[in-house]
């Protein structure tokens, strides 16, 4: 994506250069540079500004990827970064956000643990003049920008893939939910339900929460597969957890007979390699580097726009990359955390 924009820019520049060259050709002697009127302001707007990041936890592919991507894009402009890691503790997260509001960074990038907890705090932050960007997990408060996956769409597309595969087979499917308290899980379930309403022939034999835990997912999938050996598909809610689901399918010798659809951040080991090995049949990736680039672009735009925080609000839902056998081999389908950190 980035490469394409660069290519286009280069093309325009080349055309511009060609026109300029022909026009300027006769007066080559007194050639002078032209000052681009906006770049100086832009640099000033970014220099020394602070971007604070509050994820639900660090140390997993999504948040590490966002953090690395943001730094890579913005640090060269003199943007300073601050990280508050609540390590899955919602209270600690709320405290981090509260203290950040009084420290007044220019931008806060927030990864919400649920819909409600931070909502009021984020509203207050924007009133205090801090731009708030919410990533992947939105809150009930709509802030300057939301960047992230559309969970309803993920649920619908995963469920559609499973339903299609089941056509003409047993029509028995299972749903492997994440944690009940997580909005991402509830939204995805809604998407799955949207599809199932249109397909009354599909029978859901199990719909259980595995707490984002691979071992629990494996246990549930094993039991379900023993009870329903003719199961034709499983809709999973996160590829990190569904490694367990897939292990159960493999042990039952049903790889290829049970369609496993899931979603995740598209990191190579967790997504492409699992699809290649046959563990997953479909892994919808909300490509983390693209999300980081979108956030960085929005931060640049907001900081240079002079818009009052909270005055404008918009969303940038991530375009999903369906990782299947067809594209899992292609280098650009997935990303490597180690490369992003370089």
Partner 1 sequence: MALRRFGQQGIVFALFAVLFALFSAALPGFATSQNMLTLLQNVAVLGILGLAMAIVVIGRGIDISLIAALAVPPGLVLQMVQDGHSLAASIITALALSIVMGLVNGWLIAYAEVPSLFTTLATGILVAGLGQATLFQVDVVQWSDGMKGFDKLGQGVVLGIPTPIIMFGLACLVVTFILRATRWGAYIYAIGDNPNAARVTGLPTRPIIVLQYVLAALIGCFAGFVLAASVNSMPTRIFNSTLIYDVILVVVLGGIGLSGGRGGVMNVIIGTLLIGTMLNGMTIMDVSYSGQNLVKGVVLLIAVITDSFVNPRNEETAQQGDI
**At closest approach, how far in Å is the CB of 269 from partner 1?**
4
- Give contact residues for partner 1 (rule: CB under 8 A): 57, 59-61, 64, 87-88, 180, 205-209, 211-215, 218-220, 222-224, 226-227, 240, 243-244, 247, 250-251, 267, 269-270, 273, 337-338
Q: Which is nearer to partner 1, 271 or 284 (CB)?
A: 271
Q: Which is nearer to partner 1, 219 or 322 (CB)?
A: 219
**At closest approach, how far in Å is the CB of 99 from partner 1?**
22
**At closest approach, how far in Å is the CB of 251 from partner 1?**
6
**At closest approach, how far in Å is the CB of 197 from partner 1?**
19
Q: Which is nearer to partner 1, 50 or 207 (CB)?
A: 207
Contact 334, 181 (CB under 8 A): no
What are 176's strand-pairing partners?
A: 208, 236
Pair of tokens at residue 46: 């970014």
Q: What are phi and psi of 248, to 5 degrees?
A: -65, -40
Q: Which is nearer to partner 1, 12 or 88 (CB)?
A: 88
Residue 333 backbone zone (phi > 0: left; psi -120 to 50: alpha; other: beta)? alpha
Rounded-to-integer distance, Cα 140 and Cα 186, Å: 14
**At closest approach, how far in Å is the CB of 43 from partner 1?**
34
Q: Which is nearer to partner 1, 50 or 208 (CB)?
A: 208
CB atoms within 10 A of CB 13: 11
By C-alpha distance, which of 181, 49, 64 is closest to 112?
Answer: 181
Exposure pattern of 275-285 as b/e (b: 16+ CB <10 Å)? Answer: beeebbbbbbb
Q: What are phi and psi of 267, to 5 degrees?
A: -75, 145
**At closest approach, how far in Å is the CB of 212 from partner 1?**
8
Contact 69, 147 (CB under 8 A): no
Contact 221, 234 (CB under 8 A): yes
Q: Which is nearer to partner 1, 196 or 303 (CB)?
A: 196
What are 177's strand-pairing partners?
A: 209
Contact 148, 136 (CB under 8 A): yes
User: In this structure, is the dihedral angle defined by the CA atoms of residues 272, 336, 184 and 91, taken in order, positive or negative?
Assistant: positive
**At closest approach, how far in Å is the CB of 72 from partner 1?**
17
**At closest approach, how far in Å is the CB of 220 from partner 1?**
6
What are the helix (H) ranges across 206-256?
214-227, 239-251
By C-alpha distance, which of 234, 119, 131 is closest to 173?
Answer: 234
Q: Which is nearer to partner 1, 278 or 317 (CB)?
A: 278
Q: Which is nearer to partner 1, 105 or 264 (CB)?
A: 264
**At closest approach, how far in Å is the CB of 267 from partner 1?**
8
Contact 243, 266 (CB under 8 A): no
CB atoms within 10 A of CB 205: 14
């Amino acid at each position: 994506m980035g490469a394409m924009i660069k290519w286009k820019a280069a093309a325009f520049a080349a055309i511009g250069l060609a026109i300029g060259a022909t026009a300027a050709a006769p007066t080559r002697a007194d050639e002078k540079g032209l000052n681009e009127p906006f770049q100086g302001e832009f640099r000033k707007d970014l220099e020394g500004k602070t971007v604070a990041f509050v994820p639900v936890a660090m140390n997993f592919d999504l948040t590490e990827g966002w953090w690395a991507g943001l730094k890579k894009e913005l640090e060269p402009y003199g943007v300073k970064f601050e990280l508050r890691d609540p390590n899955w503790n919602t209270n600690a997260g709320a405290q981090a956000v509260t203290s950040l509001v009084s420290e007044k960074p220019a931008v806060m990038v927030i990864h919400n643990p649920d819909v409600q907890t931070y909502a009021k705090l984020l509203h207050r932050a924007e009133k205090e003049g801090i731009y708030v960007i919410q990533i992947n997990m939105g809150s009930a408060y709509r802030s300057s920008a939301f960047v992230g996956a559309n969970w309803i769409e993920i649920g619908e597309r995963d469920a559609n893939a499973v339903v299609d595969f089941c056509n003409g087979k047993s029509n028995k499917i299972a749903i492997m939910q994440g944690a009940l308290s997580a909005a991402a899980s509830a939204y995805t379930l809604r998407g799955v339900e949207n599809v199932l309403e249109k397909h009354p022939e599909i029978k859901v034999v199990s719909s259980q929460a595995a707490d984002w835990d691979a071992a629990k997912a494996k246990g549930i999938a094993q039991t379900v597969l023993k009870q329903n050996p003719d199961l034709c598909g499983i809709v999973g809610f996160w590829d990190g957890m569904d490694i367990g689901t897939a292990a159960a399918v493999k042990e039952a010798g049903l790889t290829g007979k049970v369609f496993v659809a899931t979603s995740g951040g598209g990191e190579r080991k967790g997504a492409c390699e699992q699809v290649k090995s046959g563990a997953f049949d479909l892994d919808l990736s909300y490509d983390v580097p693209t999300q980081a680039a979108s956030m960085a672009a929005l931060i640049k735009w907001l900081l240079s726009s002079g818009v009052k925080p909270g005055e404008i609000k918009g969303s940038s839902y991530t375009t999903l990359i369906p990782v299947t056998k067809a594209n899992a081999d292609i280098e650009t389908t997935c990303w490597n955390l180690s490369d992003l950190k370089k």
